[in-house]
Amino acid sequence: MQTNAPTVSVPAPATAILPYYTLFFISGFPALIYQIVWQRTLFAIYGVNIESVTIIVTVFMLGLGFGSLTGGRLSKVHGLPILGAFGAIEIGIGLFGAVSLPLFGWASTWTAGASAPVTALVTLCLLLIPTLLMGSTLPLLVAHSVRATRNIGESVGLLYSVNTLGSSLACLATGFFLMSRFGQSGSVRIAALLNVFVGCSALLLSRSTPMSMVENFESLIVSKPSGAASFRAGLALSFVTGLISLGYEMVWYRVYSFTSGSVAPVFAILLGCYLAGIAFGSFVIHDLCTKKLRDNPEQALRLLGGIIIWGGVVSFLVAPVLASAVRILPLLITFPLVMVGASLLGAAFPLVSHIGIRPTDQAGSKLSYLYIANIIGSAAGSFVVGFILMDYLSLRSICLCLLGMAVLSAGALLGRTGHRLPGFVSTGALAALVIALLSPQLFSKLYEKLLYKERFPAGLTFRHVVETRSGVIAVSQDGTAYGGGVYDGRFNTDLLNDTNGLFRPFAISSFHPHPAEVLMIGLASGSWAQIIANNPAVRHFDIIEINPGYLPLIEQYPMVSSILRNPKVQITIDDGRRWLHRNPHKNFDLIVMNTTYSWRAHASNLLSLEFLDLARRHLNPGGILFYNTTFSRAALLTGASAFPFSLRVFNFLAVSDGPISIDKQRWSDVLAAYNIDQKPVFDLNDETQRKRFDEVLSLADTLYSPQPARDIRMELGDDLRRRLQGTRLITDDNMGDEWH
């Protein structure tokens, strides 16, 4: 006797879908290589100030989100071979990746230095196609996997886990190997080849996939047990957990960046550990959904609430625990702290999907909405925390806000159940209350501990700590400024007690006869700016500084505060490279850059051949670029090779298209008459000061000294090129010392 009752097919064995998980794992690898390289390339074009960073990161993430909607719609197309579509998408990503860097370079010639709205529009156009393609793959493969497993949590958890794990390994490989060995262009070529491999493999597999796994199963009856979260609640939870997760990542990046001094690979390693934690958390949820939570949505709901609370608690503790840990442990050993917090936060998304979506033919489409909600939440977390809150709140206050959001979200979720809260949820809420009350002690002297590490004495306290969205500036009791965890100068203009190499800005008069129009990239403590502004030859002085936090500090130090009111000085808050792009018609007799250490993140943006060519276009005939190489052999040789004439002054390099010569007599005359705020730099009637005056001028005598090269304080370009022959020049592509 025939009946009309529908039949439910048996889930496919794990071995039948293992190849697709493997391919999705591999596809995660190139995705993060692209993200790291493309963002860095766009930063070089549009600047690394917070405005450009926010625009680029937000556009990238929103592209992924809208891609997920596209993938969700594709998954509903009747008769569409999902694996074939996935393969075609991967090949498309690879083809775009192969031409991406030349395309970005072409676009930069037309839009570099554009306004913020234009930058956002151009970035969207550049990234829209690849990010749409990338974002569409998860909903497609979830739709395919659910048809085999009949389990949302299992499918989303495992797919999310393997893809994120691939991305995590890509970050670690990039930080430790790829960027240093292959540069940006080589890394992108590797990523493109991996995309094509995945795409071709998926196309081949799609031809051999049984029809039972690709047909729609509209007749499948899957009831949604009572107590499961509504889909609308799932959207809200996806948004909130994404916001909390990325908000904490911004906090972690700040403390790890400050601790390391913004070493370039730290972001890649941090992101790799963050993604590894998410992958682990997703995998655990996959396992639970396969075994214990398949038919128990009430338990899944309670588990989700506990995960959100404990994720907030552990993530809150990362910064203070790191501050204590680095006093006794190497920095690399502390990264598992991030993995623990990320694993809890990362477990939320597949669990939300499991309790909010039925395993039907609509699974891919529904998942795409949860995914875009999670991505929009992540973008909001990055924007709100990184762009807004860090300008107004301390790190402790931001962490308290994120912790409170986690507790309130979990409370709102669990309040729907009407049941007594399980012990691990109540314990988590109590732990959140305790650490919130103890937060003043937990965050006490946070930056002092992060900077000094094992050398931190118990009584040490910074005189000033300024936190802005552009970074953290700390000033010690002796007036030493640390920007982003690295020495950034001193509040001092006294050449008699030269604690910060002040002879270098005073030496400008030895090789430049008339620096009337001057540009300085980097204000920092204002000490150098004060010296140059008081040079009698200077008529107009433009200063570009990326972090506005220095301005209120300068106001508090009388020896430099007048620079803020000097009528010939114009201070602009911007990225130096972007400012040059935005002002193509401004030319100068002298450009000065007290550049940071060559190994810091994005330092090569001011040391590369491409930047030197940009600076050259802003020099008047006979103009000189004078900048800090921090004794980097690569930076010295790059400058000496880019310009026909060069002169090393200690660790600074003066370069020009015209001859550079030392005039000791002119320098002596200028130095003798030098005044800062109407106070003479030297009183030559004082024997001690006269001795110091002669000592400073003796620097010019070292130019032709027979001393060994390491002891020469001045050195001509011909000698530099001969001595440093064979050293790799710095380019935007290889990034110099940053990844070594």
Q: Got the DSSP string for 394-418?
A: -HHHHHHHHHHHHHHHHHHHHTTT-
pLDDT, residue 361, reads 54
Alpha helices in 264-296 (DSSP H): 265-291
Specify whether domain 496-723 bears CATH 3.90.1110.10. no
Cβ-based neighbours of 422, under 8 Å, separated by 6 or more: 302, 306
> Which candidate, 324, 332, 319, 330, places its Cα nearest to that of 456?
324
Residue by residue, what is the 3-state secondary structure of 547-565?
CCCHHHHHHCCHHHHHHHC
For the chain, the C-alpha Rg in angstroms (whole number) is 29
Calpha distance 375→548 (Å, rounded): 30
Residue 2's contacts (CB-CB under 8 Å, 6 or more residues apart) are none
Enumerate residues 6+ apart whose C-beta is below 8 A from 244.
308, 311, 312, 315, 345, 381, 402, 405, 406, 409
- Dig out the tokens for 442 from the structure: 């937990």
Partnered with residue 524 across adjacent β-strands are none
3-state SS class at 535: coil
Instruction: Report the predicted TM-score, pTM, of the whole model to 2 decimal places.
Output: 0.89
Token output for 518: 């001057």
Tokens read off for 207: 């031809």
Residues written for the chain: 740
Residue pair 570/543 in contact (Cβ under 8 Å)? The answer is yes
**Contact (CB, 8 A) for 590 and 626:** yes
Instruction: State how far Cα 575 lies from the chain centre.
Output: 15
- What phi and psi, each to the nearest 5 degrees, are found at residue 508? -55, -40
140 C-beta neighbours (distance < 10 Å), count: 25
Residue pair 242/375 in contact by the 8 Å Cβ criterion: yes
Question: For residues 241, 242, 243 and 244, what is the CA-based torsion angle, rounded to 10 degrees?
Answer: 50
In 3D space, the residue among 161, 163, 17, 38 whose CA is nearest the CA of residue 90 turns out to be 163
Contact 322, 337 (CB under 8 A): yes
pLDDT score recorded for residue 9: 43
Query: Are 588 and 518 spatial neighbours (Cβ–Cβ below 8 Å)?
Result: yes
β-strand 486-490 against 471-475: which pairing, if any?
A: unpaired
Half-sphere CA count of 342, side-chain side, radius 13 A:
25
User: How many Å apart are CA 150 and CA 11, to the nearest integer?
Assistant: 6
- Beta-bridge partners for 653: 627, 648
Beta bridge partners of 467: 472
CATH topology of domain 226-460: Growth Hormone; Chain: A; (1.20.1250)
Helix, strand, or coil (residue 518)? strand
Q: Which amino acid is at 31?
A: A
Superfamily of domain 11-216: MFS general substrate transporter like domains (1.20.1250.20)
Query: Could you give the C-alpha distances from 551 to 221, 541, 557, 568, in angstroms and in order?
Result: 66, 16, 11, 17
What is the number of H-type helices and E-type strands within the chain? 28, 14
CA distances (Å), origin 158, targets 149, 155, 448: 11, 6, 41
Answer whether 546's CB lies under 8 Å from 573's CB. Answer: yes
Rounded to a whole number of angstroms, the distance between the first and last alpha carbons of the chain is: 75
Q: In whole angstroms, give the CA distance from residue 26 to residue 177.
A: 18
d(CA 570, CA 538): 13
Q: How far apart are CA 346 and CA 244, in angstroms?
A: 11
443 three-state secondary structure: coil
Structure tokens at 395: 């790190």
Domain ranges of the chain: 11-216, 226-460, 496-723
- Residues 6 or more apart whose CB falls under 8 angstroms from that of 167 comprise 28, 29, 31, 32, 275
pLDDT in the model for residue 564: 97
| Whole-angstrom distance, CA of residue 711 vs CA of residue 715 | 10
How far is C-alpha 189 from the chain's CA centre?
Answer: 22
Beta strand ranges found along 670-720 (DSSP E): 675-676, 679-680, 714-716
Distance CA 319, CA 446 (A): 8
Show the tokens assigned to 558.
Answer: 């009388």
Written as six digits, the tokens of 529 are 């700016």
Which tens digit of pLDDT belongs to each residue from 555-586? 999 999 999 999 999 999 999 999 999 899 99
Task: Concatenate the DSSP letters of all residues of 1-13 into one string.
Answer: --------PPPPP
DSSP state of 686: S
Helix then strand then coil, in percent of the chain rounded to 5, is 65, 10, 25
Q: Which amino acid is at 732?
A: D
- Helix (H) or strand (E) segment spanning residue 573: strand 569-573
Identity at 68, one-letter amino acid code:
S
Query: Which residues are within 8 A (CB) of 514 and not within 5 positions of it... i.e. 6 or more apart?
Result: 537, 589
Report whether 468 contacts 549 (CB < 8 A). Answer: yes
348 φψ region: left (φ > 0), alpha (ψ -120 to 50), beta (else): alpha
C-alpha torsion sign, points 667, 673, 676, 680: positive
Low-confidence stretches of the chain (pLDDT < 70) are 1-17, 49, 112-114, 116, 147-150, 153, 209-229, 291-297, 359-363, 416-421, 706-712
Are 319 and 252 contacting, i.e. CB atoms less than 8 angstroms apart? yes
**Six-digit token string for 339:** 């993995």
Q: Which residues pair with 652 in a beta bridge?
A: 628, 649
Q: Which two tokens stand for residue 148?
A: 């085999």
* Strand-by-strand arrangement of the 464-468 sheet: 464-468, 471-475, 480-483, 486-490
Q: Tell me which DSSP letter residue 148 carries.
A: H
pLDDT of residue 642: 98
Identical fold for domains 226-460 and 496-723, yes or no, is no
